[in-house]
Structure 1
Amino acid sequence: MKKDYASNIWKYYLFIFFGRVELTVSIFVLFFLGNNLNMIQVMILETIFTIALFLFEIPSGAFADKVGRKASLALSNISLCVAFVLFGLGNSFFIFIIAQIFCALFWALKSGADSAFIYDSLKEIKRENEYARIFGIGSSIWAFTLAGLSIISTTLSVYLGYRMLFFISAGFFFVGFLIALTFKEPPIHKHLQESNYFKHIKKAIKFTYTHKIIRNLIIYYGLFAALGHLTYFLIQPYYTFTNLSINVLGIAMTCLFLFEGLGFLFAQNIIKRFTEKKLLFLLMFIGSISFIAIFLFSPFIAIIFISLMSFSCGVRDIFIEKEIHIHTESHHRATVISVQSISKSIMYAIFAPLIGLFTDIYSPAAAFLMMGIGMFIFLIYITFLFKFYKKSPTL
């Protein structure tokens, strides 16, 4: 029986790899711009994605807690498969909206279910202390896969066109779905007593709000992750505006995902070297300075700061989720992680249209400057927030 749960680990690595062969990684925004959308419209699509994610997020977490993480992960890949087929077939704003809703369903079904699935599998074989390392490896596989595909993506787009890359990617996502069907569902250590999802959701939200450490970690994550995610959408027009070779964009995208993967991979070692407060400050400081530096320096030098920012985001994700798992019981774990993701969605829905408008009026570089200043102001706020915490084992 324990071997079955242990096999979940390497199967999960395969699931991550095949489920993230996204050949459109470097041309996703360029595809929209090529269909006569401007950056405001692109960010409106992202806002619709965020609203859909907001609506799906907590119910999907409750679904994972009540029905099973295996089912949630399998359905997530089917949703992404449908989304990419729609992108490949579509050429209108309306079709892109439908595809974005399916993308949101993918992220919602995956969010929380993946980390809870790994944590509970490890708990069954008495290896939960390895969670940060193992989940970090899985996350790094995801990032390294996208890093490797970044240059391939730009090259293939020249020969195959944007649409064909969506169809090929959908095929890989379906393979990920088949792998998920072979998972062994780990038991949830406290079965839900609620007769419906809403009671479970209500209790999980109340727990999140009343638990000071969890609440503030989620607020911190929300803004940091929202601005970090916007980087992906700004890099593509940023390098397009420079009139440099599309291969330079491929290199920048490779560094974006490569260094995020390195952040995932080395997160556990870094977490051990810093106190929680210092690490929270350092990661956001690196992020804010990197955004400002992208505006100040040339596109080639900017790649260095894109890499630094991505590395800090990788460490951040592993650290925040590890802390949430430590402070959350198994039966609420996926739902609380979903609340964490919702905090990002709310921030993202606010900032995405503003950044899109700022990009159209000024430039992508100016948008990076705006993001850096905003993050630095928030850094000052959280410094005072954590300063007045009573000393505890976590913060």
Structure 2
Amino acid sequence: MREKMERNVRVYKRFRFSQNMLIIGPVLVPYMIFKGLSYSEIMLLQSISAVSVVLFEVPTGSIADRVSRKFSLVISSLIMGIGLSMYIFMKGFAAFAIAEVLFGLGLTFSSGADSAILYESLSRIGRKGEYSNIEAVSMSQIFAGQAAGSVASGFLYSLSPYIPFWISVAMLFLSGIFSLMFVEPPERMKPKQSYLVHVARVFGTAFQKPRVRWAMYFAALMGVMLRATFWLYEPYFKLINLDIAFYGVVFAIFNLVSAFSSRYMVKTMGSVRPRKVLMTMGFMISGAYLLPLLFRGFFSIVLLLPGQLVRGMYTPVMRFYVNNQVEDSFRATKLSIVSLSANLSFSIFSPLIGACLDGIGTVPVYFAMGVIAAVVNLSLLQLRRVHKRKGAVIGGA
């Protein structure tokens, strides 16, 4: 059994790398325009994508809990590959909307299931404490690969707009092959009740547990603030008159910073309580919006880097924090609920961000995002203190 669980850890890194090695980021907007979409349609597609994730997140997480982690991961890569393939063969808003829904469905099948199979495999062999570091190393490898892909995608796109997409589809199907190599962790408690009862119990216990509830609130904050950075970089680049030729290089630098953050900063903060690290990230993402407004020029790109440090640390730390609060039978579903909070908040606020960007401009939007992030994070800091005081009272009772 130990050998199989050790193999799961190795396979996990390969699976995560291949499923996330999509090199289309820097050329995604130009490609959509090439396919005939307007910018407003592109932003609407992001809302459709987020809404689809919200709709599918909990049902697919429940499948991972009730059926099999491995099954969820296999089907995830297959559906994501089909969705992305539609971007190559189809055109028009309606086709791309279907593609986004399929891609979102595939993404939710792996959300929670991948983290759960790693955590449970490590737990079975007495290595649970290594979870954060393994997640961090995996994320750093992904970011390093995406850095190289960012530079390559611009060059490949100039040869043919379809090449970066073909490479990304191939990586998704490769991740499907790796997912077949997983072994389901033994002695895992599976929920015996019906699906509706299972989901109701998970939601009930999630809201009853203060730490899980806090994680949902924090995920909602970061779902907006962290995910919006990708779509707000281009307006800022235009604000400082950055030539589009440098976009790929800048994205490569961003990914390298995230790789460094994931690999080394997570390990450095290993002795710090996860929730304290998350709070620090909340203030860092606020700075990532406010600092670039102080100085505006080519070198002010450096002031965007706190957001990339957060991007590298957030997933390993948040997943470790949530995994420590839940039991096997509900693990994937509760992880999905936390992820749902992030996607729900983004689906609600992303159209508003786009409207404000068109209506009042880049500088006011950056300022508002930074201030809101700071205020909400301070509120969550106060909530954390309340939880600690209640815990102390109960412990002393």
TM-score relative to the length of structure 1: 0.92
What is the distance in 2 between the residues matched to 1:179 and 1:358? Answer: 43
Q: Tell me the residue number matched to 1:378.
A: 376
* Matched residue type, 1:71: F
1:190 matched residue in structure 2: 189
- The question of 1:246 aligning with 2:233 is answered no
Structure-2 separation of matches of 1:271 and 1:200: 35
Q: Work out the CA distance in 1 between the residues paired with 2:328 and 2:102.
A: 28
1:120 has 2:110 as partner:
no
Q: Specify the alignment match of 2:334 in structure 1.
A: 336
Determine the structure 1 residue equivalent to 2:45: 45
Mean Cα deviation higher: 177-186 or 225-234? 225-234
Report how far residue 94 of structure 1 moved.
0.5
Which stretch of structure 1 is more off in the superposition, 115-124 or 222-231?
222-231
Q: Contact 2:6 / 2:121 at 8 angstroms: preserved in 1?
A: yes
Deviates more, 1:67-76 or 1:229-238: 229-238
CA displacement at 1:119 relative to structure 2? 0.6
Query: What pairs up with 1:213-232 in 2 under 5 angstroms?
Result: 213-232=211-230
Q: Describe the superposition over 1:20-48 as per-residue Cα deviations: whole angstroms up to 9, x where unpaired.
A: 22121211123223445444322211111
Classify 1:109/1:135 alpha carbon distance in 2 versus 1 (closer, same or farther; 3 Å): same
CA distance in 1, matches of 2:336, 2:205: 13
Contact 1:16–1:141 under 8 Å retained in 2: no
CA contact (8 A) 1:255 1:306 kept: no
- Identity rate of aligned residues, in percent? 25
Instruction: Report the counterpart of residue 68 of structure 2 in structure 1.
Output: 68
Q: 1:208 to 1:299 in 2, by over 3 A?
A: farther
Q: How does 1:22-171 map to 2 (within 5 A)?
A: 22-161=22-161, 163-171=162-170
In 2, Cα distance between the equivalents of 1:316 and 1:35?
A: 33
Letter of the structure 1 residue corresponding to residue 211 of structure 2: I
Residue of structure 2 in register with 1:308 after alignment: 306
| Larger deviation, residues 12-21 vs 356-365 | 356-365
- In 2, the alpha carbon distance for the partners of 1:21 and 1:320 equals 21
Name the aligned partner's letter for residue 298 of structure 1: R
Unaligned residue ranges in structure 2 (runs of 5+)? 393-397
Shift of 1:359: 2.3
Partner SS, residue 272 of structure 1: coil
SS at match of 1:165: helix
Cα deviation, residue 285, structure 1: 1.0
Matched, 1:6 2:17: no
Q: Quick one: structure 1 residues 367 and 386, their matched pair in 2 at CA, closer, same or farther if it must change by over 3 Å?
A: same
The SS at the match of 2:387 is coil
Q: 1:153 to 1:366 in 2, by over 3 A?
A: farther
Match of 2:395 in 1: none
Residue 335 of structure 1, CA deviation:
0.4
Q: Please show how residues 218-367 of structure 1 align to structure 2 within 5 Å.
A: 218-239=216-237, 244-276=242-274, 278-298=276-296, 300-367=298-365
Letter in 1 for 2:304: I
Residue 274 of structure 1: CA displacement? 3.5
Supply the AA of the counterpart residue of 1:337.
L
**Structure 1 equivalent of residue 21 of structure 2:** 21
Give the 3-state SS of the residue equivalent to 2:269 in structure 1. Answer: helix
How far does residue 177 in structure 1 lie from its aligned partner after superposition?
0.6
Q: For residue 25 of structure 2, give the secondary structure of its aligned residue in structure 1.
A: coil
Counterparts in 2 of 1:77 and 1:66: CA distance versus 1, 3 Å:
same
Determine which of 210, 213, 233 is the counterpart of 1:212.
Answer: 210
Taking the aligned partners of 1:129 and 1:78, their CA distance within structure 2 comes to: 32
Q: Which piece of structure 1 moves more, 273-282 or 243-252?
A: 273-282
Deviation digits for residues 148-200 of structure 1, max 9, x if unmatched?
Answer: 21111122111222x33212311221111111111112135212211x32211
Query: SS where residue 190 of structure 1 aligns?
Result: coil
**Structure 1 residues 117-161: Cα deviation after superposition (integer angstroms, max 9, x where no partner):** 101111222211111111221222222221221111122111222
In the TM superposition, residue 90 of structure 1 has moved relative to its aligned partner by 2.5
Deviations 1:207-241 (A, max 9, x none): 11000011012211221132211111222454356
Counterpart of 1:165, as a letter, is P
Contact 2:73 2:109 in 1 (8 A): yes
TM-score normalised by length of structure 2? 0.92
Offset of residue 114 of structure 1:
0.8
